[in-house]
Amino acid sequence: HEDLRSSMFPDLVGMHYSWWGGVQMGPPDPILGVTEAFKRDTNPKKMNLGVGAYRDDQGKPFVLSCVRKAEALIAAKQLDKEYLPIGGLGEFTKACAQLALGADNEVLKSGRSITVQTISGTGSLRIGANFLSRFHGGPRDVYLPKPSWGNHTPIFRDAGMQLKAYRYYDPSTCGFDFKGALDDISKIPEQSVILLHACAHNPTGVDPKPEQWKEIADLVKKRNLLVFFDMAYQGFASGDIDRDAWSVRYFIEQGHNIVLSQSFAKNMGLYGERVGGFTVVCNDADEAKRVESQLKILIRPIYSNPPMNGARIATTILNTPDLRSLWLEEVHGMANRIIKMREQLVAGLKKEGSTHNWQHVIDQIGMFCFTGLKPEQVERLTKEFSVYMTKDGRISMAGVSSGNVGYLAHGIHAVTK
Amino acid sequence: MSIFSDVPQAPPVAVFKLTADFREDSHPQKVNLGVGAYRTDDSQPWVLPVVKKVERLIVEDDSLNHEYLPILGLPEFRSASSKVALGDDSPAIKENRVGGVQALGGTGALRIGAEFLRRWYNGTNNTATPVYVSAPTWENHNAVFADAGFKDIRPYHYWDAAKRGLDLAGLLDDLEKAPEHSIFVLHACAHNPTGTDPTQEEWKKIAEIMKRRKLFVFFDSAYQGFASGSLEKDAWAIRFFVSEGFELFVAQSFSKNFGLYNERVGNLTVVAQDNENLTRILSQMEKIVRTTWSNPPSQGARIVSKTLNCPELFAEWKGNVKTMADRVLLMRDQLKSKLQALGTPGTWDHITQQIGMFSFTGLNPKQVEYMIKEKHVYLMASGRINMCGLTTKNIDYVAQSIHEAVTKVQ
């Protein structure tokens, strides 16, 4: 179209038309679009069950006490603002790896892994995707569970990988399609990448049980697949950090050299500080050093080195005993409130007279609940009750409080009876 | 057999390796003239007084939380940043055709801009569009554009080693010969690593050719205020190009002029032809940001935003910036005087003619090696020194070391 322009306007020297005439309007982000619509709604009873950010029982953002305490400690230290190394704050990456793997993990003792600080979970996934794209000798395909977090696909695609899927969610049970998953995984070509949600699957809240994880680990090993764990909710799912990391640790124990993305957005409430880690478990320390050097080469032309503030807060919490205990308590508290809301929602639905089986609301875990609502029902829920959620029927339990759970039950019953 | 057994060891990034080596050196008179970070006359990092003040305000503000910023960043930060670059009374801003993308430092701003250009400039996904970077340039420019997908990254003439100044003729010739629509990365001021900037008359010549040949202007502005001590003066080239009607990008960094190195504060200013174009551009920027870091870190943006948007704090900040710029100017002056007093062979006018944090001394690799190994004065193999590494306490030793290197090593 440049040629067309020059022939139509031969005297123009480039300043009378724009370079960007061909730039299409990008589609609005589906999840953030929900919040936009919510903001415009004037109904006093409106509920935002879209974005996955934790809210307290008053519906307010929650800054953890351990975070405030850590910030005060840090402020008192009067630290400088010098660049961090490309791979991030050393104390942070060490604590981050220990949190995921367990402090006494053989992998950490032998030095056969590398952890770099990343821009929260997204940044971690992207670095991982870029690393695989550049160095993974196997197929370009990354297998995601069906469904998965919406941003997984464009992240891997932009990194040059291709996306495929394995069955995961069973809409008929609102639970795990274990047979379907095993069946699909058994057919994945060797050396392909398989992405697993470590806990609190987003968007369904459906996690495999330990015995199921074991079979998956076994099958994945048989198929010789590269495992990419996404752990964005450690501690947030069950309330117990070790329990939530069980799947990651089990796979490593079984000999999988995994790659792992971690986020501290939810479990420390550090959303906007962008705190995360990317870990590669290698065969030995030498390999880990080589991998580290290449990760730095990838990171440098994206953002040079990561931001300090959030990493400092996270490190202070993890490495200061009473702050760490306080954090574990608060994470437990957040997870518990979610679990309570799940129970209250189901109780509320029963009270409304719903005859549907809502057990999945309690069985699912973590921030999100795949209600099983169909798009038309979601639309009604939004239009008639001002309850905002994504079209797939996903609700963020964090947006539910004791003050509005009754109203939510009422609305859901109304559109499903 | 590991999937990663074939991963080769990558070379370390030179400038960080230099600092690592410096740290290990136990020589009592060692001097680090490597990494580009400001140092006080006591060789200490300097957290700007205004930054300390604003950080206290932020910590004490219980109404603030750690929620996600919007994908494009903190709105008050973006608008204030673009304003700092383009000027308070910028017609482009008044015409509502200027937008910002908060990014992780100047690097992040460059990368987002590069990713956008690769996708949407000169056709769609046109990885063949030539990208020109100055010879020499900041060592990361190449990788930023290469990793964004551009296949053809070329140098444009810039540094004339013989005359130790700008190779204007070579530069202008490259502009004339570049394929139409090529992208040119221009340093807005305080060229890294040479410290050599075009004069206003020279900028005008550059602009004339770029307009005529439809070349894309991508400014890298990492030192606004830091170079001359004046925000306006250091932004002259950017503002001139905007006034000439260019649609352009400016990758801004607040690492140096706010001393916020590790908080990763940057902004990609987009100057579009009109608001309609701007809107579409920003919508696509969001998509790029979403798969890179989702949304940017809030701490640094809050500090800069509070400062730029409050008149008293803004004035205090300008004072802090001038303090840094003035110390650098003083060191330039003293280094030149001392070399001249020592009778060190060669001319040393370039030390005071060059501007900003860096100076291309003209030392060759052998002389640099001598400086490092024999004198424990650490500088880049290119002969680049960070003026901030100089202090009233070490400047005599450094001048003496340069003198020795130049006289003993050819």
Q: Which helix (H) or strand (E) holds B264?
A: none
Q: Are A128 and A160 in contact (CB under 8 A)?
A: no
What is the distance between the alpha carbons of residues B313 and B322, in angstroms, rounded to a whole number? 14
Mean pLDDT over the full length of chain B:
95
- The answer on B282 and B203 residing in a single domain is yes
* Predicted local distance difference test score (pLDDT) of residue A19: 65
Q: How far apart are CA B74 and CA B307, in angstroms?
A: 14
Catalytic choice (A184, A230, A244, A327): A230
pLDDT, one tens digit per residue, over B189-203 is 999 999 999 999 999
Q: Between chains, do B35 and A154 touch, taking CB under 8 Å as contact?
A: no
The mean predicted confidence, pLDDT, of chain A is: 93
* A83-319 CATH: 3.40.640.10
User: Could you give the CA distance from residue B351 to residue B331 in angstroms, rounded to a whole number?
Assistant: 9
Both B294 and B329 in one domain: the answer is: no
Distance, CA of B387 to CA of B406 (rounded, Å): 19
Pairing of strands B266-271, B248-253: antiparallel
- Residue numbers of B between 50 and 89 with CB closer than 8 Å to A: 51-52, 55-56, 59, 65-69, 71
**Same domain for B141 and B267:** yes
- Kindly name the residue from B220, B336, B338, B375 that is annotated as catalytic: B220
- Single out the catalytic residue among B30, B46, B83, B138: B138
Provide CB contacts within 8 A for A90, sequence distance 6+. Answer: none
SS (H, E, C) chain A: CHHHHHHHCCCCCCCCCCCCCCCCCCCCCHHHHHHHHHHHCCCCCCEECCCCCCECCCCCECCCHHHHHHHHHHHHHCCCCCCCCCCCCHHHHHHHHHHHHCCCCHHHHHCCEEEEEEEHHHHHHHHHHHHHHHHCCCCCEEEEEECCCCCHHHHHHHCCCEEEEEECEECCCCEECHHHHHHHHCCCCCCCEEEEECCCCCCCCCCCCHHHHHHHHHHHHHCCCEEEEEECCCCCCCCCHHHHCHHHHHHHHCCCCCEEEEECCCCCCCHHHCEEEEEEECCCHHHHHHHHHHHHHHHHHHHCCCCCHHHHHHHHHHHCHHHHHHHHHHHHHHHHHHHHHHHHHHHHHHHHCCCCCCHHHHHCCCCEEECCCCHHHHHHHHHHHCEECCCCCEEEHHHCCCCCHHHHHHHHHHHHC
Kindly state whether residues B42 and B111 are assigned to the same domain: no
Neighbours of A314 (CB within 10 A): 28
Question: Comparing C-alpha atoms, which of B410, B392, B335, B401 is closest to residue B372?
Answer: B401
Percentage above 90 pLDDT, chain B: 91
**pLDDT above 70: residue B68:** yes
B211–A14 C-beta distance less than 8 A: yes
Query: What's this model's pTM, rounded to 2 decimal places?
Result: 0.94
Whether residue B392 sits in one domain with residue B288: no
Given this model, what pLDDT does residue B1 score?
A: 56
Q: How many CA atoms lie within 13 A of B253 on its CB side?
A: 29
pLDDT at res. A3: 47
* 3-state secondary structure at position B114: helix
Q: Choose the closest CB to B143 out of A67, A271, A301.
A: A301
Q: Are residues B21 and B74 in the same domain?
A: no
Chain A residues in contact with B295 by the CB 8 A cut-off are 272, 274
pLDDT value of residue B255 = 98
Name B75's Cβ contacts closer than 8 Å, sequence gap at least 6: none
Last residue of a domain, one of B276, B309, B342: B309
Q: Which of A27-36, B296-305, B325-334, B401-410 is predicted least confidently?
A: A27-36
Q: How far apart are CA A62 and CA A65, in angstroms?
A: 9
B9 falls within a domain: no
**Are the C-beta atoms of B120 and B293 separated by less than 8 Å?**
no
Residue B270 sits in the same domain as residue B145: yes
Task: Answer whether A367's CB lies under 8 Å from A398's CB.
Answer: yes
Active site residue A184: no
For β-strands A169-170 and A47-48, DSSP reports them as unpaired
Could you tell me the CATH number of the domain that includes residue B24?
3.90.1150.10
Distance CA B378, CA A142 (A): 45
The gap from C-alpha B371 to its chain's centroid, in whole angstroms, comes to 26
**B28 and B111 together in one domain:** no
pLDDT in tens, B131-184: 999 999 999 999 999 999 999 999 999 999 888 899 999 999 999 999 999 999
* Closest residue of chain B to A134, computed from CA coordinates: B7
Percent of chain A with pLDDT over 90: 89
Residues B303 and B331 in one domain: no
pLDDT of residue A14: 41
Using an 8 Å Cβ cutoff, are B193 and B360 in contact? yes
pLDDT tens for A128-150 read 999 999 999 999 999 999 999 99
User: Same domain for B282 and B400?
Assistant: no
Query: How far B208 CA sits from the closest chain A CA (Å)?
Result: 11
Shared domain for B212 and B121, answered yes or no, is yes
β-bridge pairing A226-231 and A259-263: parallel
Mean pLDDT, rounded, for A359-369: 96
* CA gap A367, A271 in Å, rounded: 14
Residues 93-122 of A with CB under 8 A from B: 119-122
The number of residues in chain B equals 410
How far away is chain B from the Cα of A249, in angstroms, using its nearest Cα? Answer: 19
Q: What's the CA gap between A317 and A65, in Å, rounded?
A: 10
Give the model's confidence band at B252: pLDDT under 50 very low, under 70 low, under 90 confident, else very high.
very high
The reply to whether A77 belongs to the active site is no
Mean pLDDT, residues A34-63 taken together: 91
- By Cβ distance, the residue of A17, A63, A309 closest to B299 is A309
Half-sphere exposure of B63 (CA within 13 A, CB side): 1
What fold is seen in the domain A30-62+335-415? Answer: Aspartate Aminotransferase, domain 1 (3.90.1150)
For residue B63, being part of any structural domain is answered with no
Q: How far apart are the C-alpha atoms of A142 and A163, rounded to whole Å?
A: 5
- Domain match, B137 and B188 both: yes
> Distance (Å, rounded) from C-alpha A318 to C-alpha B141?
37
B260 in a structural domain: yes
- Contact status of A2 with chain B (Cβ, < 8 Å): yes
Residues of chain A contacting B67 with CB distance shorter than 8 Å: 53, 61, 271-272
Q: Cα–Cα distance between B289 and B78 in angstroms, integer? A: 15
Pairwise CB contact (< 8 Å): A18 & B272 = yes
Q: The CATH number of the domain where B301 resides is what?
A: 3.40.640.10
Number of domains in chain B: 2
pLDDT digits (tens, 9 = 90+) for B267-289: 999 999 999 999 999 999 999 99
**Residue at B56 is within a domain:** no
Q: Is A304 on the interface with B (CB under 8 A)?
A: yes
Whether residue B369 lies inside any domain: the answer is yes
Whether B348 is a known active-site residue: answer no
Distance CA A253, CA A105 (A): 9
Residue B59 confidence (pLDDT): 87
The bridge status of strand A387-388 relative to strand A275-281 is unpaired
For residue A17, pLDDT beyond 70: no
Q: Which amino acid does the sequence have at B21?
A: D
Does residue B62 belong to any structural domain of this protein? no
The answer to whether B105 contacts chain A (CB < 8 Å) is yes
Residue B8 lies in a domain: no
Q: pLDDT tens digits, residue range B204-251?
A: 999 999 999 999 999 999 999 999 999 999 999 999 999 999 999 999
Range of the domain at B396: 14-46+325-405
- Comparing CB atoms, the residue among B12, B245, B261 nearest residue A15 is B245
DSSP designation for B263: G
* Contact between B247 and A19 (Cβ < 8 Å): yes
pLDDT tens track for B348-384 = 999 999 999 999 998 999 999 999 999 999 999 989 9
As given in the structure block, the two tokens for residue B296 are 């940017």
Q: pLDDT at residue A12 above 50?
A: no
Domain boundaries, chain A: 30-62+335-415, 83-319
Classify strands B31-32 and A387-388 as parallel, antiparallel or unpaired: unpaired
Interface test with B, best of A12, A71, A83 (most B CBs within 10 A): A83
Measured between alpha carbons, how far is B225 from B307 in angstroms, rounded to an integer?
15
| B279 at interface of A, judged by CB pairs closer than 8 A | yes
pLDDT at A77 over 90: yes
- Which residues in chain B touch residue A302, judged by CB atoms under 8 angstroms apart? 104, 107-108, 111, 147, 292
Calculate mean pLDDT across residues A345-362.
97
Last-in-domain residue among B277, B309, B341: B309
Interface contact B4-A306, CB threshold 8 A: no
pLDDT at B322 over 50: yes
Q: A26 and B71 in contact by Cβ < 8 A?
A: no
In a domain, residue B134? The reply is yes
CB A281 within 8 A of CB A301: no
10 Å CB burial of residue A94 (0-12, 13-18, 19+) is middle
